[in-house]
Structure 1
Amino acid sequence: MTRTVEYIFDFAAPNGYLAWYPLKDIVARTGAKLTVTPVFLGGIHKLTGNSPPMMRDADVKGKVPYAALEFQRFLDRHDMTRFSLHPALPFNSILLQRALVAAASEQERQALIDALLPAVWERNIDCGNTDVVGQELSDAGFDAARLLSATQDSDVKEALGANTAHAVERGAFGIPTFFVGGEMWFGKERLGQIEEYLSGGRP
């Protein structure tokens, strides 16, 4: 039976970039199916009382530098040489997330992530500027007018809010979060465990 990996995703999380590419490789190796659920990370933080690690752990001696070391190790291990930490972090990703919700299909949603992740985390575009985002969408072959118009649709706005609330109800508190059936994993460091699970490491 083919298992489905659900990726709870927001462009605003740098770890969301780091996890995306190894996750796609794992899905390909294991024959699993990948689906993406767009959420609003700011909403998850508000609902759970969480905050970005560099803010939450700022007063813990040694923790932020060590997190930076682990982050760089992951980049090096996966040869992610083009990654560039966004100077506006933490930034508002609501426009991009609504565009994901408005995707016409799961295939288009994942294609949008493939196109926009490098724009956000390699070229550091202004994620709230509709002209900039629209140009990125057009350059990648998407119907930018349709997607940008849909970001103002009440149904799209409500769907993003509902996705966010439902993810929190299921236990999510940050990005990247993954679900396989009823099992939840958090963090890019869990990708190896997910591959073991998909490969029959657990019945």
Structure 2
Amino acid sequence: MPLKVEFQFDFGSPNAYLAEVAIPGIERRTGVKFEYVPVLLGGIYKATGNMSPFDSLRGIKNKPEYQALETQRFIRRHNVTKFRQNPFFPVNTLMLMRGAVAAQFEGVFEPYFRAAYHHMWEEPKKMDDVEIFRNAFISSGIDIDRLIARAQQDDVKKRLIDLTNDAVSRGAFGSPTFFVGKEMFFGKDQLRDVEESIVEQIRQPVPKTA
């Protein structure tokens, strides 16, 4: 059975955006494709009692500054050129994430995904405003009215809930979370370990069956 590697993301996480920039390089080097799994970060936080760094770092001396430094190091290491901080952060991503599931169901996930990240972290907008959301996707050539309607259907809503609950049941507490087989890794700074685990697991000998 091929090795399953998952990238669990929420468009509201800047670290998930940055991590995704590095994924194509890992795929080229290992020959393993990542599965992109939309989850609702707010749901994960509620289920685990976690909170975003935006909240958890407030009032802590030195740590926010160090995390900003680490982010700049990551940006330089991976030659990230398009990232911009979203001035409207944090953004409620329920519409975006339901849209991602709808786009998967409708076979248009890749263009939707690229447009969503573009309007969240490259030309940042307040993407929890319905009109801004709609106009942004229209400007990127996405048939967003069809996806908005699809996103209101029960199977889409249930799918996002199920993916989010499954992530929590397997140990997730934030985004980005990666699974390499059964091994979980959290955060963009674990990508080196993610790649090492992929290489290690694809090299393991397949057990012989009787």
Calculate the TM-score normalised by the size of structure 1. Answer: 0.91
The reply on whether 1:142 has 2:113 as its aligned counterpart is no
* 1:158-194 deviation line (CA, Å, top 9, x unaligned): 2211211111111000010011111111011111111
Supply the distance in 2 between the matched residues of 1:91 and 1:151 (Cα, whole angstroms): 18
The reply on whether 1:92 has 2:127 as its aligned counterpart is no
Supply the distance in 2 between the matched residues of 1:35 and 1:111 (Cα, whole angstroms): 16
Supply the distance in 2 between the matched residues of 1:60 and 1:84 (Cα, whole angstroms): 24
Superposed CA RMSD in Å reads 2.0
Cα shift at 1:105: 5.1
* 1:87-128 deviation line (CA, Å, top 9, x unaligned): 121110111100111124596323322222121101112212
Supply the distance in 1 between the matched residues of 2:73 and 2:107 (Cα, whole angstroms): 31
Cα shift at 1:145: 1.9
CA separation of 1:59 and 1:136: change in aligned 2, threshold 3 A: closer
Q: Report what 2:208 is aligned to.
A: none
| 4+ aligned runs moved over 6 Å, structure 1 | none
Alignment of 1:54-93 (within 5 A): 54-93=54-93
Q: Report what 1:177 is aligned to.
A: 177
Report percent identity of matched pairs.
41
Supply the distance in 2 between the matched residues of 1:104 and 1:71 (Cα, whole angstroms): 30
Supply the distance in 1 between the matched residues of 2:196 and 2:104 (Cα, whole angstroms): 32
How many aligned positions are there? 203
CA separation of 1:101 and 1:187: change in aligned 2, threshold 3 A: same
Q: Report what 2:27 is aligned to.
A: 27
Is the 2:9–2:176 contact (alpha carbons within 8 Å) kept by the matching residues of 1?
Answer: yes
Corresponding letter in the other structure for 2:55: M
Corresponding letter in the other structure for 1:5: V
The SS at the match of 2:29 is helix
Is the 1:95–1:128 contact (alpha carbons within 8 Å) kept by the matching residues of 2?
Answer: yes
Calculate the TM-score normalised by the size of structure 2. Answer: 0.88
Corresponding letter in the other structure for 2:25: D
Supply the distance in 2 between the matched residues of 1:60 and 1:71 (Cα, whole angstroms): 17
Point out where structure 2 has 5 or more consecutive residues left out of the alignment: 205-210
Supply the distance in 2 between the matched residues of 1:107 and 1:23 (Cα, whole angstroms): 21
Of the two, which has the highest radius of gyration? Answer: 2
Supply the distance in 2 between the matched residues of 1:100 and 1:67 (Cα, whole angstroms): 29
